Every structure is written in C-alpha cells, then in structure tokens.
Amino acid sequence: MRCNGFKKFGVFVLAFFVFLPFNNQAQQKPGQPVDPVASRLRLWYDKPAKQWEETLPLGNGRLGMMPDGGVVEENIVLNDITLWSGAPQDANNYAAYKKLPEIQQLLLDGKNDQAQALIDKDFICTGKGSGAEPFGCFQTLGKLSIQYRYGNSNAAQERGLYIRTLFLNHAIARTEFKLDGVKYERDYFTSFSDDVGIIRIKADKRRAISLAVGLSREEKGTVTTINNTLEMYGQLDNGTDGKGMEYLAAIGIRQSGGRLRSLDNKLLVDSADEVLIYISNKTSFKDHDFRQQARRLLTRALAGNYKVQFDKHWRQYRQLFARTSIYLGPGPRYEMPTNKRLEKFYNATTPDNDLTVLFYQFSRYLTISSTRVGLLPPNLQGLWAHQIRTPWNGDYHLDVNVQMNHWGVEPGNLSELNLPLAELVSSLVPHGEKTAKAYYNADGWIAHVITNPWMFTEPGESASWGVSKSGSGWLCNNLWDHYAFTHDKNYLKKIYPVLKGSAQFYAAILIKDPKTGYMVTSPSSSPENSFFMPDGSGKHVSICMGATIDNQIIRELFTNVIEAANTLGIDADFRDQLVAKLVQIPPAGRIAPDGRLMEWLENYQETDKEHRHISHLYGLYPANLITPSQTPALADACRKSLNVRGDDGPSWAIAYKQLFWARLHDGNRAYKLFREIMKPTRKTDINYGAGGGVYPNLLSAGPPFQIDGNFGAGAGIAEMLLQSHEGFINLIPAIPDAWKPEGFVKGMKARGNITVSFAWKAGKVTSYSLTSPVAQIVPVKVNGQLLTVKTKQSTNL
C-alpha cells in the first residue's frame, strides 16, 4: 500500500479579531491537506493577567519574557536560560568507597534500614547539597515595569474591548484594548533573528502614548541610566566569595513623535505616536565580553527597521515550528477565552479537539522557545521563572524530569533541539568520573539524581532520594534516541565515549545477588519511592539491591552500546564483554504474585501504592524492552501496575501515565490521562501527590509550575498517533474514540530519519506518505496489517 496523495478535507473559515493585522494561517503547499486548525493556534484572554501563571511565555531559546498585559501598569518578567547562581564545586566524598563493602553486606543480610543509615552518614555528598549555593539555582533576570499615562485620568477601559493573545504561528504576543475612544495595541516578541526582546506600542490617535519604563530585581541588581539607556547589572552568589555569575540587562527606546527622556532611573516617553522598547541582556556564562555583547545587540536593534525585524523573527522561528501539523477532527468551535475553554474541556461531552491540537503545538512552541543549539537545555522551569529561589532550584532532575522535557523533540520534528542536552551530558563526564571513583572505585562515569550547569554528579544529601544511580543511564537513552531518529553517524561517534563510559560504570559495580543469581546494582533504589521493611517493623526504607529500573536501564544501555560499536566498527573487546554481561543481569521485568510488575528485585510492599514515580515501567517507556507484541505478559503486568497507581498525580506523573497507556495501545485510557492533565488550577503550593493540572496560560502545574508536564503530555499525544520503537512504524496505534472521525498528521518523525504524514477517517488510515534522505525499505503497520514500504527520497526535510 503506497500513498499517492492526501484525502481532501473541508476548510473552516475563521473570523479574525478585528485588531489582527496579519494572517495567522500557515501557508499550505500544493498536494498537502489544508490545515483547518493552523489559523486557530492562539491562546487568548479577555482580561489582564492577575498572577504570573496567567502571563504569556515568550522565548527565543535564550531570552524569555512574560507580559501580563496590564492597562495602566504592566509587568513583564524577564529571563535568561543561562542565569544561575552557584559555581562549580567538588562535593565528592573521596572516602565513601571504603564504606561500600559494608553497605553491600548489610543489604545482603537483609538489613536495608541499617544500610540506608550508613549511606546517610558516609555515602552522600559533602557540603550543603542542593539546598543552597554553591549548587545554585536558576533565577529570574528581573522585571520590566511600564506605567502608562493616559490623557484623561478618569478614562475607563471600554467594556468588551480587551484581548490578550499569544499567536503560536508567529511567536508573538499582543495586548489590544480601547480606552477613552482610543484603540491601543502592544506587540511583544523575543527575536529569533536579532536576539533581543522587542515591544511595540501604538495607538490609532496621534500623541496618545505616554509611559515610564523601569527595571528592577528583588536582589543583586543595580539600575543606572546612561544616555537614555536603562541598564541593570548584578552578580549572583557563588556560595564562597559571592562573586558568581554576572549579568547586564539594557533597555533602549525608539519613539515616533513626542519626547524621550530619563528621570530617576526610568525612561519616560511623552505624547508619542508609537514606541518601540528593546530589551537586551547577557550573562557571563561562557562569555567574558557579556557587557559589550549586550550593548552591541541593543545598539544594532535600535537602528533596525521594525517590520524587517519582525519578518526575520517569525520566518526564522517557523523554520522549526512549521515542520509539523496535526488535525484531530471536528469539534465545537468555542469562541471564548482559552481559560474558559479549559474549564469546559475536562467535563465536556463533545471533545474540544482544537484545544488538544493547541496544547500539542504549544508544547512544540515551548521547546523551540526554551532552548537553542549551543546553550543549555530547558530545566524544570523551561526558560521561565519569576522568583529568585525557584522550586527545586529549577535544576535538572535526572530521575525523569529533564528526560521528559525532551521526549517530544524527535517525533515533533525538532531534532536539533536535543543537542543542548547532549552537550550538557557530555560536560558531566569528567566530574562524573571522579564521582564514580569516589563512591564506587569504578571506571566510567556516573551522575545521580540532580545536576546543574556546574556539572554536579554527586549523590544528593539524603539516601531516600539522592543515591539513585539510574540518572546517567537514563540520560544515555535520550542521547541514543537522537541517533535512532536521525541515523547521524558523526553524532554517534561523538557520543560514543559518553555511552561507553556509562556502560563501563554499570558493568564495574554489579555484584551477585545470591537469592536470584543475577548480577545487580548495590546499593540501589527506585527513584524517590520507598517500601516497608519485610521484618514487620513498619520502617520505611528506600535502599535495596537491583531495583527494576536499574536492571532495565543497564540492559538497554548495554544493548545500545553493543549496536553502536558494531555500527562504528570499533571496540570489539568491550562489546563482547557487554554481550557476556547481558545474560547475567535480570530480565526487563518480573511479575509479582498479584500480577503487577515488580518494582524491586524482591517483592517488597510499597509505602504508597499511588506514588507519583512509576520508574519500574521504564522498560515500557521510554525504552522498548516491554511491548504488547513482543512481551505480552510483561505488558499486562504493566497494565495492572498502572491501574493500582491510579490516574492522578503531579502533571508530569499524569503525562508519564499517558505515555505508558499509549505504548499499551489503549487510546481511550491515554486520552483520559490527557484530560486529567487539562484540569484547570491556580494553585502554586509545592505538591508531591494528586492535584496536577494546567494553569490558565496552559503551563503545567505540579503544582507549582513545572514544564515537564507540558512536554510529557505533548509527547503523549505524538505517541498516540505514531510509534516506531518496535522495529516498525505504527500509524494511529492508540487513537481514542474522540479522534477517530477524521484527522491527519503532517511532518512527524519516526526512527530511521523518516518523515511521516498520514490521514484517517472513521479510525482507519486512508493515506500515508513516508520520506527520508535516502530511500529505504521499512515495515509499516497500517490498519492492523504489517506492510513493507519503500520511502520516497527527499532532501527537503
């Protein structure tokens, strides 16, 4: 079965908001399906934001802005992906390895509680750990404040004439309203071409714009005014001498008509026709010339033409964003603000499929906006934070979170945006080698549970969560996935030493479990989870031997390194060692008497059956060790585990369950999990259990805000539509009833560097197209039939 074109779909006509100056409809190429949703890819609201979680996120991979759209006073939170407190440190305990034999013997003797106590005493990091500097924290850059002065101080906003919008197709936000008979419009974007933030303010009446612009930061920020340029300089704490990362933010204004002046460290504009505000900032992260760089960017932007700047910005952005589009069928056309649609979504009897598409494309938008090649990957906050002390430091959690941030990158056809993570992981290796020697006297490298730009690889400060050693192996899964999707051998050569070093570490630390005969990790733990001591004491412990996730990660990593060595034609001796090790480690999963997949090597009783982490199902996702087709008994055990775990949790945990059910080909259950994520909330308290959801601006709530829920749920939608991990491409493997009437996917990626487009009707694929840089023969599952298909060669991917 071959695809010769797409089924023709009906076209919806969208009545644009009266103030909209450009066509938000993405252009369609001949022979492609008309995308009836592209023109509706916008978040919009009829009131200014009252809390940060209502503001609109803008970013260009380095700079972030979040405007609240205030009429009289507007606050715009500013961010830079590289702005971190802290500094490199060595918190390794170089005597820890001497305690390892004693810890292992206690575990062999069944004295897990004593082993955990010894770890807390002698086997964690030195110093303050993650609680303070020098570990550091991702921090907000500061706040841009604009106070507007209107001619009539008693003027009131005219009822019904306010709208605040984020246009995903062009990566621009807009605030529009009418006040005292005058129509005002503000545009905001973080330029992908000029690398500055830009705000344009205009009105339909001459001399109607008067304002004052200020810049501030809660701490470590000094504001000065030089020649009508506003600057803020600061240096963050490094945990030792206070001389941590430096930054400079610079604000410049260009106005048409009226007058520009400075007063009391503010820039004032009086009676202008139009105002352009440019925001530039740089940090000293890998940049000693950051001050001059920030000033040069501002000077260049101030001299530019706004129309040219905006055109270059959105065209560069769309080189990434426009690669993929989806349509999930007809649904209600709600002409209501996004927060109101969100409130209706969870309990709606008729699915709002447009909102699902919007959420998916929003996840791709957030990826494009929060990272770029050569800089840092998105952290727990992505790029956006409004606090000095962000929750969990806004760091890189290695026990699911940073990995989840990247799960949708490859299928979403944004492959190059996986490279910042690969660079971060590569930078961890030298310090991780020290940690491997300090704690395990082992070759290779290890990173435990948390890291940062300062290459922290040590255990955390508590045995209950900090000594899980699956983090580095899990990161290697992300690195391998980029190769699996791209087949880029040059990239594989570059990351091979990273993969090999991780495999060397795990191979070196395995010991024999006398009860099973398997070679396992010891000490081990299932990330952040605990079980009851089997002696009836009621004690909660986390430390064990051979947690299931360790066994799965090691099996997957060894298999991938073996394949990499064969592909590159190198390292035959090491490859053969791993082949021999593979038969000695536990299988991908073992089934407990109650039918669930065992989380630990022994059938311990968990302390919380609905725990947020579901790490023992790693073999189901992101790995391919457990599949319905190849390991049906283990897949069924995963179903039973998920049913006991329940469907609630923090947003990232709900997203992970959505992905699991997609891999189990249960589209309706996966869709139910997606609906759980879409529960509206405004809570910002720290939450470890049930209650995850989505804020009015569609950012995911743990609560508080954690961006992994956005990325995980977006990846879940992609996984419901397209899978390629079982050795074949599977079209709509987990389609829910809500999407069955009709739909299409254009430009998703499958493993093997294959771009996939297809359409369906009544739950059956009606057409499909596969392209790749080199034509290849691939197996494709279409409507339950496994076919052999030759891809079409394409150089325009």
4 has a pLDDT exceeding 50:
no
* Residue pLDDT, tens place only, 451-510: 999 999 999 999 999 999 999 999 999 999 999 999 999 999 999 999 999 999 999 999
Q: CA nearest 172: which of 316, 342, 16? A: 316
Q: If pLDDT is split at 50, 70 and 90, which confidence band does 375 have?
A: very high
- State how far the Cα of 314 lies from the Cα of 168, in Å rounded to an integer: 10
10 has a pLDDT exceeding 50:
no
- State how far the Cα of 698 lies from the Cα of 779, in Å rounded to an integer: 37
Mean per-residue pLDDT for 2-10?
31
3-state helix, strand, coil in the chain (%, to 5): 30, 25, 45
pLDDT for 334: 82
CB of 86 within 8 A of CB of 136? yes
pLDDT for 7: 29
Which residue reads 């733990």 in tokens? 525
Q: What is the DSSP letter of 56?
A: P
pLDDT for 157: 60
Sorted by sequence, the CB contacts under 8 Å of residue 8 that are 6+ apart come out as 33, 34
Please give the C-alpha separations between residue 717 and each of 9, 514, 691, in angstroms, as whole numbers.
21, 43, 21
Residue at 511: amino acid letter: I
pLDDT for 235: 98
DSSP, collapsed to helix, strand or coil, labels residue 410 as: coil
Buried b / exposed e over 644-675, threshold 16 CB at 10 Å, is ebebbbbbbbbbbbbbbbbbbbbbebbbbbbb
Mean per-residue pLDDT for 521-537?
97
Sorted by sequence, the CB contacts under 8 Å of residue 172 that are 6+ apart come out as 58, 166, 187, 188, 189, 310, 313, 314
Q: If pLDDT is split at 50, 70 and 90, which confidence band does 151 have?
A: confident
Cis peptide before 351 (omega within 30 of 0): no
3 has a pLDDT exceeding 60:
no
101 has a pLDDT exceeding 90:
yes
CB of 727 within 8 A of CB of 314? no
Q: CA nearest 368: which of 82, 62, 664? A: 62
* Residue pLDDT, tens place only, 380-398: 999 999 999 999 999 999 9
Q: What is the DSSP letter of 130?
A: G
pLDDT for 161: 87
- State how far the Cα of 438 lies from the Cα of 459, in Å rounded to an integer: 11
212 has a pLDDT exceeding 80:
yes
User: For the chain, what is the mean pLDDT?
Assistant: 94
Query: How many Cα atoms are found within 13 Å in the side-chain-facing hemisphere of 349?
Result: 0
- State how far the Cα of 713 lies from the Cα of 542, in Å rounded to an integer: 29
Q: CA nearest 723: which of 656, 663, 771, 674? A: 663
Q: What percent of the chain has pLDDT over 90?
A: 91
pTM of the model: 0.95
Rg (CA), the chain: 27
DSSP string, 148-169: EE-SSTT--EEEEEEEEEEETT
* Residue pLDDT, tens place only, 561-586: 999 999 999 999 999 999 999 999 99
- State how far the Cα of 783 lies from the Cα of 789, in Å rounded to an integer: 14
Q: CA nearest 197: which of 187, 206, 188, 205? A: 188
Residue at 109: amino acid letter: D
| Region for 127 from its dihedrals, namely left if φ exceeds 0, alpha if ψ lies in -120 to 50, beta otherwise | left
CB of 66 within 8 A of CB of 75? no
- State how far the Cα of 517 lies from the Cα of 503, in Å rounded to an integer: 21
* Residue pLDDT, tens place only, 410-454: 999 999 999 999 999 999 999 999 999 999 999 999 999 999 999
Q: What percent of the chain has pLDDT over 70?
A: 94
φ/ψ of 114, rounded to 5, equals -70, -35
Residue at 247: amino acid letter: Y
pLDDT for 133: 93
CB of 393 within 8 A of CB of 136? yes
Neighbours of 180 (CB within 10 A): 15
Residue at 438: amino acid letter: A
Q: If pLDDT is split at 50, 70 and 90, which confidence band does 512 have?
A: very high
Sorted by sequence, the CB contacts under 8 Å of residue 523 that are 6+ apart come out as 103, 104, 107, 115, 119, 123, 467, 543, 544, 545
- State how far the Cα of 447 lies from the Cα of 470, in Å rounded to an integer: 8
Mean per-residue pLDDT for 732-736?
98
DSSP H or E stretch at residue 450: strand 450-451
Cis peptide before 523 (omega within 30 of 0): yes
pLDDT for 27: 39
**HEC per residue, 368-402:** HHHCCCCCCCCECCECCCCCCCCHHHHCEECCCHH
pLDDT for 30: 34
Structure tokens at 146: 């604009």
- State how far the Cα of 242 lies from the Cα of 543, in Å rounded to an integer: 37
31 has a pLDDT exceeding 60:
no
